[in-house]
């Protein structure tokens, strides 16, 4: 890899927010384009970093290539995670950096963090059906489609669920 994955720094939040917004807009993932109500959420990296963990992929010269929000244990950024699960959201790579393995490296970093999270047995995520390139990454890394966890944040926006089991659940005493 010719880039590093690490926690995003405050001076990178604006750039990473714009990468995320541009990725969703450019890939046609926002129903209302520039007027979509989700766009400010995508741009608000500072809030995500305060309430979860934002990872960034960064070139040696400091150029931010992409990022992802890792949700270690519930909180306001957890959509479908249950007890014993972590989640990640808003995976985005700058269009100019695509094809370099940035997206896969960010997902791998989330898996590593999930494995290092005490009590975590599974990592989960939600994705849109149009995010086929991301689906290929997830499946290559061992994630499986979990249709019984599919959901709609609002009517007309179906999200597909993927899970990756990290270890078997600990048996509970009777």
This model's pTM is above 0.85: yes
Q: Is 85 helix (H, G, I), strand (E, B) or coil?
A: strand
Question: What per-residue confidence (pLDDT) applies to 69?
Answer: 98
Alpha helical stretches, state H, 116-164 = 132-140
Question: What per-residue confidence (pLDDT) applies to 172?
Answer: 62
Question: What per-residue confidence (pLDDT) applies to 54?
Answer: 98
Question: What per-residue confidence (pLDDT) applies to 154?
Answer: 85
Question: What per-residue confidence (pLDDT) applies to 55?
Answer: 98
pLDDT digits (tens, 9 = 90+) for 122-161: 999 999 999 999 999 999 999 999 999 999 998 888 999 9
Q: Are 165 and 124 in contact (CB under 8 A)?
A: no
Please identify every stretch of the chain with a pLDDT value under 70, giving residue numbers as ranges.
Answer: 1, 168-174
Distance CA 50, CA 72 (A): 13
Q: What structural domains and CATH numbers belong to the chain?
A: 4-165 (3.40.630.30)
Distance CA 73, CA 84 (A): 8
Q: Are 81 and 87 in contact (CB under 8 A)?
A: yes
Q: Of 133, 46, 45, 59, which is closest to residue 90 (Cα–Cα)?
A: 45
Tokens of 40: 């400010």
Q: Are 4 and 58 in contact (CB under 8 A)?
A: yes
Distance CA 92, CA 79 (A): 18
Question: What per-residue confidence (pLDDT) applies to 65?
Answer: 98
Distance CA 135, CA 10 (A): 30
């Amino acid at each position: 890899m010719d880039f590093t994955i690490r926690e995003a720094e405050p001076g990178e939040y604006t750039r990473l927010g714009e990468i995320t917004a541009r990725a969703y807009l450019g890939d046609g993932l926002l129903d209302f384009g520039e007027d979509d109500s989700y766009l400010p959420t995508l741009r608000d990296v500072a809030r995500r970093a305060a309430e979860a963990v934002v990872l960034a992929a960064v070139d040696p010269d400091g150029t931010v290539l992409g990022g992802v929000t890792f949700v270690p244990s519930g909180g306001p950024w957890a959509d479908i995670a249950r007890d014993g699960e972590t989640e990640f959201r808003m995976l985005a790579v700058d269009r100019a950096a695509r094809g370099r393995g940035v997206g896969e490296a960010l997902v791998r970093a989330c898996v590593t963090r999930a494995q290092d999270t005490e009590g975590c047995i599974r990592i989960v995520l939600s994705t849109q059906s149009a995010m086929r390139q991301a689906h290929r990454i997830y499946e290559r890394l061992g994630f499986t489609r979990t249709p019984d966890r599919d959901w709609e944040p609002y009517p007309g926006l179906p999200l597909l669920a993927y899970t990756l089991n990290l270890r078997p659940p600990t048996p509970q005493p009777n």
